[in-house]
Chains A and B, each alone.
Chain A
Amino acid sequence: MRITPVATQRLAVGFMWILTGITFAVLVFILVFILVHGLPHVTWTFLTQSPRSMGREGGIFPMILGTFLVSGLAVLVAAPIGVATAVYLSEYTREGRLTSVIRFGADCLAGVPSIIFGLFGFVFFAITLGMGLSVLSGSLTLALMVLPTIIRTSEEAIRSVPNSYREVSLGLGGTRWQTVFYVVLRSALPGISTGIVLSLGRSISETAAVMLTAGSALRLPRSLFDSSRTLALHFYLLSREGISMPNAYATASVLIIAILALNLLAYAVMRRFAVKATR
């Protein structure tokens, strides 16, 4: 029996839909699995207390603070530097071999496993520079890790800005910096913010590099030079060592919700900027 093209189509498309269904089922399963086991344990006290007995009891407040400090500082350091570099590369230099090499290098570094950055950070920041296992070491390492991504994303966004914008600005008598600052960056802001938010998400999820550089202390970090544990690392240690499964699930829930919220925020910000550009 010959299968007609239409029948083939139905079969094939049906199969694809099944694949799609499986994919989403897996995603939903992961989320539901974690949240169902974890949300019941996420109470206000859980979020505001310190852990006791290696995390078996108590809460995760130091980890929340630690995550905030390490990731926040990393992006805060990397974002201005990355955007400035991207601006310089796309607006102030001539297109040529050097910029292609730099671009390729940034792409490669963006793909390098985070563990290598962790190794580097451990040897360079923690030992050689003497910062020890600390929030500072951790965030500087993460900053280096997300820097290539921010540079590339910003550069792409900047280059997507149509030349007509630049020319109009210059035609009105703007200087190069004014053009860049008020016109180009303004138009590229959605893309740049996406890159930054992406990097923030990546640094929040980062575990291996953080373990090596920021350490895994359970106490509340009292300064940037104290070691601190992040949510992802805490979850990893809790679940791996079987210290407390309920707390592990709860930590994971907090982590996932935070990332979800971040994504939604990014999406909302992008919508706002995108809509504005059309006025």
Chain B
Amino acid sequence: MAKTKRRSVLKLAGGAALGGMAGILATGRTPAFAQQKTVHWLKWVDFVPATDQMFTKELMPAAEKDLGIKMKLETVNGNDLQPRITAAIQSGAGPDLIMSFNSYTHLYANSVVDMSALAEDVGKREGGLYKYARAICSDGKVFMGMPWAVIGGMIAYRKSWWDEIGVTKFPDTWESYREAGKKLKAKGRPLGQTLGHTFGDAPGFSYPYLWSWGGKEVEADGKTVVINSKETLESVKFMTGFWKDAHDEGGLAWDDTNNNRAFLSQTISATLNGASIYIESLRKPDQYKTERGEFLNKDILHAPLPKGPAGQFGFHLLQSNMLMKYSKNQDAAKEFLKWLHAEANYRKFFESQKGFATPCTAKWESDKLWDVDPVMTPYKVAARLGQAIGNAGPPNAKAQEVLSKYIITDMYAKAVQGMPAEDAVKWAESELKKVYAG
């Protein structure tokens, strides 16, 4: 029998072990049994709590089962998304997928993966992507984010109070809206609108208001500042009187939640908002009752912002999901997004929102969900009416800077605080010129 030397046994064992390790290191992959990938998705805390519950209980486990990956869903307050994105990009580590609001996509364009293939595919399958979603998520060459949903902003109003002043059809022009508001304010039921530094409702009102008068930030070249126009000036002058006549003047300090509280506690008769006021009143019908003791949710209707001389517009919160360039799980994250946008899966999200979120493709406009509750029906066209910031230029990083600095909102805020309209517009012009020149 051949003698087995101790040394040769060690050599063999060591060789095998080293070979194995070297092989693993060379491929940069862990062995198959430990290969389950984790996709980390960071999104906002949904204003509809049922949606986040549905994600945790249904969609995430289903994705894990179908795709063989591990999902990590993290939710943060909408205002905290940007600090997280900045920290993640600068450190080169963080969630694989991050939810973007509006033009964040343009702001972080260098740090995201192109989602064109999936976006075009979903668009083709679902009757076409809305222009609004395309403008915000794509720079014409690549899709910086995968369009997810539009949180429509509509005016929620108290039907009975408007009936009482003889207005049975919601005003469709600024003049008639102001007239009605004047009557309502005289009865201690003013219109409620924020002109404060808050991400949603303030620009959601001030931008479409400006556009409806024909005011523009810049020309289509995205450089020539044209805010100081007759149209803008008219809009500012109208706003100062409108504010005094019809609005709750505390609105200068409101954040995105103040108008919800004011409406639900019946101190205002109308306010621009997502559907969250109505949804909250549906959720707690016994808590929110009218002065006659009836359910408040039976007395709420929605309408789009009125028209101005140049038309009717909306600026809604458009959400998309960005696949980050630093992600080491890009393939798995892409697979997950593809899976999430499959009709059956996306429908679960859509239905859980009950109309709070409008999908970015045309097909969903005719979905039967919009017939379930007529109060929610106006939201179905939110994405269609939407226009992106930076008009008439692209919604790029410059336009986002103007938005982040609240220049358009502050132009109106300064005027209603007493600054002459001409000066407020000139101030906005000088600020815009600094932004667009840089």
Do the two shown chains form a genuine complex with each other?
A: no
Please list the residues of chain A having a beta carbon within 8 angstroms of any beta carbon in chain B: none
